[in-house]
Amino acid sequence: MINFNQPHLTGKEAHYMYEAVFAGKLSGNGKFTKRCQAWFEERYGFRKTLLTTSGTDALEMCAMLCDLKPGDEVIVPSYTFVSTALAFLREGAKVVFADSMQRNPNLDAETLEALITPKTKVIVPVHYAGVACDMDAIMTVAEKHHLLVVEDAAQAIDSYYLSRKSEVESQKPLGGIGHLAAFSFHETKNITAGGEGGLLVVNDERFVRRAEIIWEKGTNRAEFFRGEVNKYGWVDMGSSFLPSEVNAAFLWAQLENIDDIQAKRKSLWETYYERLAPIAVKGAFTLPDIPSYATNNAHMFYIVLPSLEARTAFIKYLKENGVGAVFHYLSLHSSEYYKSRHDGRALPQCDRYADCLVRLPLFYDLTIEEVNHICDLIDTYFQ
Ligand X SMILES: *Cc1c(COP(=O)(O)O)cnc(C)c1O
Is the Cβ of residue 300 or residue 303 nearer to ligand X in the bound state?
Answer: 300
Tell me the torsion sign for CA atoms 50, 35, 53, 27: negative
Is the Cβ of residue 149 or residue 375 nearer to ligand X in the bound state?
Answer: 149
For position 46 contacting ligand X by CB under 6 A, the verdict is no
Task: State the maximum Cα–Cα separation within the chain, in Å, rounded to a whole number.
Answer: 73
Instruction: Single out the residue of 49, 54, 120, 159 in contact with ligand X (rule: CB under 6 A).
Output: 54
* 226 φ, ψ (degrees, to nearest 5): -85, -5
For position 80 contacting ligand X by CB under 6 A, the verdict is yes
C-alpha separations of 163 from 146, 269, 308, 331 in Å: 20, 24, 36, 30
A 10 A CB-CB count for 146 gives 8
Is the Cβ of residue 120 or residue 155 nearer to ligand X in the bound state?
Answer: 155
Stretch that binds ligand X, among 27-35, 147-155, 247-255, 365-373 (CB under 6 A): 147-155
Chain length of the chain: 383
Instruction: Single out the residue of 65, 76, 98, 126 in contact with ligand X (rule: CB under 6 A).
Output: 126
Is the Cβ of residue 154 or residue 279 nearer to ligand X in the bound state?
Answer: 154
Stretch that binds ligand X, among 26-34, 49-57, 284-292, 362-370 (CB under 6 A): 49-57
A 10 A CB-CB count for 147 gives 20
Stretch that binds ligand X, among 40-48, 50-58, 167-175, 275-283 (CB under 6 A): 50-58
Given a contact cutoff of 8 angstroms between Cβ atoms, the answer to whether 197 and 53 are in contact is: yes
Instruction: Using CB under 6 A, count the residues that bind ligand X.
Output: 14
For position 81 contacting ligand X by CB under 6 A, the verdict is yes
Residue nearest to ligand X (CB): 55
Judged by DSSP in three states, 127 sits in: coil
Element (H, E) at 184: strand 180-184
Is the Cβ of residue 83 or residue 331 nearer to ligand X in the bound state?
Answer: 83
Given a contact cutoff of 8 angstroms between Cβ atoms, the answer to whether 114 and 86 are in contact is: no
For position 84 contacting ligand X by CB under 6 A, the verdict is yes
C-alpha separations of 42 from 35, 49, 261, 305 in Å: 11, 10, 19, 41
Is the Cβ of residue 54 or residue 349 nearer to ligand X in the bound state?
Answer: 54
| Cα atoms in the Cβ-side hemisphere of radius 13 Å centred on 302 | 27
Is the Cβ of residue 81 or residue 161 nearer to ligand X in the bound state?
Answer: 81
Alpha carbons 62 and 66: distance in angstroms, whole number:
6
Binding mask 181-210 for ligand X (x = CB under 6 A): ---x-x-----------x------------
Instruction: Single out the residue of 29, 37, 49, 56 in contact with ligand X (rule: CB under 6 A).
Output: 56
For position 297 contacting ligand X by CB under 6 A, the verdict is no
DSSP 332: G
Question: What is the binding site for ligand X (CB under 6 A)?
Answer: 54-56, 80-81, 83-84, 126, 152, 154-155, 184, 186, 198
